[in-house]
Amino acid sequence: MRADRLVAALLLMQARGRVTAAELATELEVSVATARRDLEALSAAGIPVYPQPGRHGGWQLVGGARTDLSGLSAGEAQALFLLAGPAAESSDEVKAALRKLVRALPETYRSQAQAAAGATLVDPAGWGAVHKERPDEVRRLQAAVVRQQRVRFDYRGAPRVADPYGVIDKDGVWYLIAGTDRGQRTFRLDRLAGLDVTGDGFERPADFDLDAAWAEVVGEMEDRRSRTWATVRIPARFAWVLRDHFGRHFHPVLDEGEFVRVRVGAPEPRDIARTLSGWGSAVEVLEPGSVRAELARIGSELADLYRGE
């Protein structure tokens, strides 16, 4: 993951004082071009990393070989932890690196750095949605989470004021968990408009845990999205199409060689039928009868509509 490479690059520069893109590529086992992009990403994020031209040049932390991480400003430390924090969810090495970085920072910066590391959660399991580009609001919301500043925005045409607790990247679709006057709510960022960071402060509940809060949201969504399950027989070479569409609501059941049996879930029988009807006879729903009946109804309607042709 890119974020753990960024942490490793910074630690390497702390140890050596100066490093070339080629040396970093060798250490991290990546291409020179990738190493150079990582160094440029650190610099763009506000970390005091700069290229030194010339025959004996390279990249170094401002301050020379003896610079340690206590030379980072509060903003620079936050930028680094915002980059690395999500990677720690799936990497013990990144978690260890972040703990070392926290200990290396001045006491006054530690709380905000730790807040930045926990401001974003990555959930790689999609809900069958199309991958989306990172919204422009993500960085501003991350900063508002770290600084505990209230935000204002329109959501589906209605004005909202919220206390941002954390942002979640779910397979490229971004969400905000926030406190409101109606209690804790979850907002999808691509449905949010006119974001304004008010500057007003708020206190995050002492017992709030982003992982636990998101797990509860996912559990509720899964219950709503998988009230109906169907067993489907499909050519094995096409199973990946259904897997991409149904996401975590796709489960292999039986490998029959040329064909496979899978289980797919959706809120209602008609939702499954609408998805599978375009496959024609290439896909057979074995059960339940409610989905088979919906497919028969759709087929009958299409036959009546186009019989004259």
Contacts of 123 (CB under 8 A, 6+ apart): 168, 169, 170, 171, 214, 218
Domain pair 123-215 / 226-306, same fold: no
Between helix 107-117 and helix 137-147 the angle, nearest 10°, is: 130
Nearest to 176 by CA among 186, 163, 184: 186
pLDDT tens for each residue of 295-304: 999 999 988 8
Amino acid at 179: G
Which CATH code is given to the segment(s) 226-306? Answer: 3.30.70
Q: Does residue 260 sit in helix, strand or coil?
A: strand
Q: Where are the domains of the chain?
A: 2-118, 123-215, 226-306
Average pLDDT, the chain: 78
Return the structure tokens found at 189: 């960022």
Cβ atoms 94, 88 nearer than 8 A: yes
As its CATH architecture, domain 123-215 has Roll (2.30)
Q: Among 48-52, 102-106, 141-145, 265-269, which is the least confidently predicted range?
A: 102-106
The dihedral formed by the CA atoms of 120, 121, 127 and 129, expressed in degrees to the nearest 10:
30
Averaging pLDDT over each range in 37-41, 106-110, 203-207, which range is the top one?
203-207
Residue 306 and residue 301: Cα distance in Å, rounded? 9
Q: What pLDDT does 153 receive? A: 95
pLDDT tens for each residue of 249-269: 889 999 989 999 999 988 889
Check whether 67 has a pLDDT greater than 50.
no
Model confidence at 40, in pLDDT bands (50, 70, 90)? confident
As its CATH architecture, domain 2-118 has Orthogonal Bundle (1.10)
pLDDT tens for each residue of 77-86: 556 666 555 5
Q: Does residue 173 sit in helix, strand or coil?
A: strand
Model confidence at 286, in pLDDT bands (50, 70, 90)? very high
